[in-house]
Amino acid sequence: MKAVFFDVQSYEENYLHNNIPKDYSYIFIKEPLNSHFALSEEIKGAEVLSVFISSDLNENVLKNFPKLKYILTRSVGFSHICLEYCKKNNIYVFNTPHYGDNTVAEYTFGALLYTIRHLGRAIEDVKEDKINMNRYIGTELFSKTLGVIGAGSIGKNVLDIAQGFKMKTLAYDPYSSDNYYTYTTLDNLLASSDVISINSPLTKDNHHLINKENIAKMKQGAIIVNAARGEIIDTEALYEALLEEKISYVALDVMECEEILCSENKKCQGLENLKEICLEKYYLNQKLLKLPNVTITPHMAYNTKEAIGRILAMTIENLISCLNFSPDSGAKNLVLL
């Protein structure tokens, strides 16, 4: 069986090379798979595709793979894959759930504290020997209310960590509830929370959930942390709220149209390949970067050696599941049957 791996980082290659079952022939590609990637006939013959979230497996991309049977995303989320096309064409989709439940929750508080305690500013001032305590007056978490949007495995870990800071907690999740956490409506969470943490997968129902209307419902000076998906926040509405001081601090690990961002392992997309809406979002993101109360990181909340190890182990497990696969085989990590 032929497998093609996109978005392959250098630290992934050895593990995958040493553990991919001998039943597979495979190709490693550093770049993401999208409509701008030049596909060779060899690649088009793939029966298995493995990708990360930087790939965009829309219908037009997937049509190039007539033999495709399985997609293995090395992520929890799968909003970058056209599931409707997969369902119509009997393509089975696997993910890697729960690999970063603690990882992303820990990042959430790391980014939050870094931002509200002005650590970046203080570190740079020490290096330049220009210490000024007035520049580092921060905000405590003690006794504040944390509202978590998306109380799945990651969100629940965020709620648990908040207890250690002696914060009050609220949760909003239209698909989950239990007796351990305090669930409430979205409106009440927005109105009651000093800190709002977004930990929900991107769905058709929560695109731009944090918009101008919902920001208006928040407390004056609310703080937002987003380690989920950039498209859950309307960037323009967020930028305006920061300028108006409705929002006091923001820590973002994700942004709208983050595929524009360059990295050492992928080519930057040329202007001719970008959607017009993404040029607008990129402009707004650049303006956000210049604000002193904003922290932006490059979608790295998952990025620990422990989490990467879990991703790779589950990817190999998913590859093994594809061998002699049948719909009633009870395969783990199956998103779409």
Residues 224 and 118 placed together within one structural domain of the fold: yes
Of 209, 207, 229, the residue nearest 218 (C-alpha): 209
Q: Which of 80, 118, 229, 310 is catalytic?
A: 229
pLDDT on residue 265: 45
pLDDT of residue 326: 85
312 and 250 assigned to the same domain: no
Do 232 and 331 belong together in one domain? no
- What value does the CA radius of gyration of the chain take, rounded to a whole number of Å? 21
What whole-number distance in Å separates Cα of residue 252 and Cα of residue 246?
17
pLDDT in tens, 171-199: 999 988 889 999 999 999 999 999 999 99
| Residue 335: pLDDT over 50 | yes
> Domain tally for the chain?
2
The per-residue pLDDT for range 105-124, each reduced to its tens digit, is 999 999 999 999 999 999 99
Whether 117 is catalytic is: no
Question: Do 37 and 126 lie in a common domain?
Answer: no
Reduce the DSSP state of residue 140 to 3 states and report it: coil
Q: What backbone phi and psi angles, to 5 degrees, belong to 298?
A: -90, 60
β-bridge mates for residue 2, sequence order: 25
In the predicted model, is pLDDT for residue 266 greater than 80?
no
Residues 186, 207: Cα–Cα separation, whole Å:
14
| 106 plus 240 within the same structural domain | yes
What is the predicted pLDDT for the residue at 322?
95
- Same-domain check for residues 71 and 170: no
**Active site (annotated) includes residue 245:** no
- pTM of this structure: 0.89
Q: What percentage of the chain exceeds 90 in pLDDT?
A: 84
Predicted local confidence at residue 181, as pLDDT: 97
Residue 204 and residue 278 share a domain? yes
Mean pLDDT across the stretch 222-230? 97
Q: Say which CATH number the domain at 267 has.
A: 3.40.50.720
223 and 204 together in one domain: yes
Instruction: Give dist(CA 19, CA 316) in Å, integer.
Output: 7
Which DSSP letter does residue 17 get? H
Active site residue: 74, 80, 118, 299, which one?
299
> For the segment 313-322, what is each residue's pLDDT rounded down to a tens digit?
999 999 999 9
pLDDT attached to residue 328: 79
Q: Is the pLDDT at 285 greater than 60, yes or no? A: yes
pLDDT at 138: 97
As a whole number, mean pLDDT of residues 242-247 equals 98
Of the residues 256, 258, 259, 310, only one is catalytic, namely 258
Residues 135 and 75 in one domain: no
Least confident of 137-151, 173-187, 272-286: 272-286
Q: Identify the domain containing residue 75 by its residue range.
A: 2-99+305-336
My answer on whether 105 and 25 are in the same domain is no
Q: What integer pLDDT is reported at residue 332 of this predicted model?
A: 87
Q: Are residues 278 and 332 in the same domain?
A: no
CA distances to 57, 143, 208, 311 from 237, rounded to whole Å, are 28, 28, 9, 34
- The reply to whether 44 and 140 lie within a common domain is no
Question: Catalytic residue at 128?
Answer: no
Mean pLDDT of the chain: 93
DSSP state of 295: E
Distance CA 188, CA 201 (A): 21
54 pLDDT more than 80: yes
CA dist 225 → 26, 113, 161 (Å): 39, 10, 14
